[in-house]
Amino acid sequence: MCGIVGYYGNKEAYPIIIKGLKRLEYRGYDSAGIALMNHSVRVYKCKGKVSELEEITKDKDISGNIGLGHTRWATHGEPSNVNAHPHVSMNSLFVVIHNGIIENYNRLRTELEAEDYIFKSETDTEVLANLIEYVYIKLNISPDEAVRIALTKVIGAYGILVVCNEHPDTIIAARKGSPLVIGKGHGEYFFASDATPIIEYTNSVIYLNDNDIAIVNKKGLHIRDIRNIEQTVKVQKIDIEIDAIEKGGFDHYMLKEIFEQPKAITDTCRGRLNYYDKTLKLGGLHQVIDALTKTERIIIVACGTSWHAGLVGEFLFEEFARIPVEVEYASEFRYRNPIINPGDVVIAISQSGETADTLAAIQLAKEHRALVLGICNVVGSSIPRETDAGVYTHAGPEIGVASTKAFTAQVTVLTMMAMLTGAKNKALTDKEHNALIDELALIPEKINSILAKAEEIKKIAEIYKDATNALYLGRGYLYPVALEGALKLKEISYIHAEGYPAAEMKHGPIALIDEKMPVIVLATVDKSYEKVVNNIQEVKARKGIVIAIVTEGDTTIRTMADHVIEVPYSDFALAPLLTVIPLQLLSYYIAVMRGCNVDQPRNLAKSVTVE
């Protein structure tokens, strides 16, 4: 949450920072600000989006070859001009932008107030700016040393960029718990919360580690840690095409990402599944596959959509590998003293790789000596670096706040992991394994055929765009899909929606059903099909409206439901990969028709780096 961008070099910093902030707006968009340096610092900031910042800087001096920019997702203090970043210390010596939370900010603020510091904002970041300044003046040290010493007093998470008015040729960057990437160009450096603002200038990047402090000045880049120990600068090459972060002719990133799913799944399987000789390899698990095969328990930890993928993973591992699985909200798991044994395997799933609760769950699992694996989309993010081993989803950058292609790519990886484990421990026969490979090979094409029904789904959206409530029902593998469909609808269209196991409806939610209530039923062919048909009858008997997702050629449900959306037949274990697609499109079109900001829904941010 919050996006930070910085530039140090010979070019004008303003356009680079503004462009970078727009790329990071998915991380937060309630206020924006910029600081520009030549001989001294100028700060401009306002409530609202980066476009509003551009408006207020139209007639201002925006020159400078060094600068910092910020797009905010509010934690401490409401969105307002004064709470927007950058924050300037009381004597105007330091300017700070920050992503994260300073947990002990209240105590630090009281201590600084006792030293006559006066605060303008309600933010924890202003406390940090003043703390750095206080240390700098009191100890009469360099700005980077002041940052280092100030950070030793801080509890919490931060990714920060700092400049000092008395040393206008230096940028100081530091991180702990919040991401920060530095791009290295020719005589220039780019700083950002993730690589997307950097890739059009350079593909050489340095990922800061927790407790690193980077100093960029005329001498180049140096990294020390918070104990003042020099660190090696490790430059890595990243491989993201600029097209992957543009909208590519689509109205919204979300729609583009929905339509990218056939490619995302193909890319996720590439080099791993060999359809010709029916082999499956996951290089990232090579060292740990024996432990995974022999474990007596898998615990999956994740949040939001990734948690829903984890629920599908539970079915997959239990069915293919016969290993018991528990799926936990990372935020609950980290605080409830869970029983974790040394032989347990904990799988953390995350698109961003930066979710604070998931990272904390990983730490806890490591403390209990579990083997911790990651399933992650963002290469080089914190979760892959914190886990013992793992598998990347290769879905490409996901920028829309509502997760779509990350979900199907995560389920694809979980399917492959469960198949690999089941094949090794012989819970899955060769015949079953090979049949699944063939089925998986067909999924991208089947998704394409569902995407071709977008106009049909749009017409259904038009009818229900004014609904105030919706219920999503599914059984077995399709219960997590019901949860995911409900989450998609509520997060982007603000319609209240609930997902339920279909058979649970009669234990409560059935009371909600009336002639205005759309009930979206996942009813593709499997062993529970007849039961789900009964659930549809129960809804219809109470005058509810049924939108059913059915297998192609289903004639039974067509006679009962108000609308049917057909998806191709697949093995039931792979049905989540198909049935979720119409739900994503339905939510998307409803949200657009309601005039909602689909890519940046209110109150949300893409990467939840605070707990």
How many helices (H) and strands (E) would you count in the chain?
A: 18, 27
Do residues 320 and 419 make contact, with C-beta atoms less than 8 angstroms apart?
yes
Do residues 533 and 541 make contact, with C-beta atoms less than 8 angstroms apart?
no
Which one of the spans 52-60, 163-171, 289-297, 601-609 is the region binding ligand M6R (CB under 6 A)? Answer: 601-609
Do residues 591 and 492 make contact, with C-beta atoms less than 8 angstroms apart?
yes
Distances (CA, A) of 89 to 8, 75, 130, 131: 21, 19, 5, 8
Which one of the spans 48-56, 78-86, 398-406, 442-450 is the region binding ligand M6R (CB under 6 A)? Answer: 398-406
Q: Give the per-residue contact string, 119-158, with ligand M6R (x = CB under 6 A; - = no).
A: ----------------------------------------
- Kindly tell me which of 312 and 545 has the beta carbon lying closer to ligand M6R: 312
- Shortest gap between Cβ of 606 and ligand M6R (angstroms)? 7
Q: Which of 188, 212, 491, 566 binds ligand M6R (CB under 6 A)?
A: 491
176 token code pair = 């702990």
417 token code pair = 């992991």
- Shortest gap between Cβ of 398 and ligand M6R (angstroms)? 9
- Kindly tell me which of 6 and 353 has the beta carbon lying closer to ligand M6R: 353
- Kindly tell me which of 130 and 306 has the beta carbon lying closer to ligand M6R: 306
Which one of the spans 72-80, 350-358, 456-464, 564-572 is the region binding ligand M6R (CB under 6 A)? Answer: 350-358
Site for ligand M6R in 353-372 (CB under 6 A): 355, 358
Residues identified as active-site = 2, 606
- How many whole angstroms separate alpha carbon 22 and alpha carbon 35? 16
- Kindly tell me which of 98 and 405 has the beta carbon lying closer to ligand M6R: 405
3-state secondary structure of 60: coil
Do residues 27 and 604 make contact, with C-beta atoms less than 8 angstroms apart?
no
Should residue 551 be labelled a site residue for ligand M6R when binding is judged by CB under 6 A? no
- How many whole angstroms separate alpha carbon 256 and alpha carbon 244? 10
- Kindly tell me which of 487 and 574 has the beta carbon lying closer to ligand M6R: 487
Q: Which residues have CB under 8 Å from 51's CB, separation 6+? A: none
- Kindly tell me which of 149 and 383 has the beta carbon lying closer to ligand M6R: 383
Do residues 75 and 68 make contact, with C-beta atoms less than 8 angstroms apart?
no
- Kindly tell me which of 86 and 601 has the beta carbon lying closer to ligand M6R: 601
- Shortest gap between Cβ of 401 and ligand M6R (angstroms)? 5
Q: What are phi and psi of 568, to 5 degrees?
A: -60, 155
- Kindly tell me which of 295 and 607 has the beta carbon lying closer to ligand M6R: 607
- Shortest gap between Cβ of 405 and ligand M6R (angstroms)? 11
- How many whole angstroms separate alpha carbon 255 and alpha carbon 397? 14
283 token code pair = 């290089």
The residue count for the chain: 611
Should residue 584 be labelled a site residue for ligand M6R when binding is judged by CB under 6 A? no
Q: Give the per-residue contact string, 303-342, with ligand M6R (x = CB under 6 A; - = no).
A: xxxx------------------------------------
- Shortest gap between Cβ of 4 and ligand M6R (angstroms)? 18
Smallest CA-to-CA distance from 53 within 102, 76, 77, 86 is with 86
Q: Which of 130, 211, 261, 350 binds ligand M6R (CB under 6 A)?
A: 350
- How many whole angstroms separate alpha carbon 267 and alpha carbon 471? 33
- How many whole angstroms separate alpha carbon 73 and alpha carbon 332? 23
Q: Which residues have CB under 8 Å from 365's CB, separation 6+? A: 299, 301, 340, 344, 346, 348, 372
Q: Which residues have CB under 8 Å from 221's CB, separation 6+? A: 182, 184, 189, 206, 214, 215, 233
131 token code pair = 């703390």
- Shortest gap between Cβ of 600 and ligand M6R (angstroms)? 11
Q: Give the per-residue contact string, 285-304, with ligand M6R (x = CB under 6 A; - = no).
A: ------------------xx
Should residue 403 be labelled a site residue for ligand M6R when binding is judged by CB under 6 A? yes
Which one of the spans 93-101, 153-161, 349-357, 443-451 is the region binding ligand M6R (CB under 6 A)? Answer: 349-357
Q: Which of 345, 347, 413, 608 binds ligand M6R (CB under 6 A)?
A: 608
Q: Which of 402, 409, 505, 532 binds ligand M6R (CB under 6 A)?
A: 402
By CB under 6 A, name the binding residues for ligand M6R.
Answer: 303-306, 350-352, 355, 358, 401-403, 487, 491, 604, 607-608
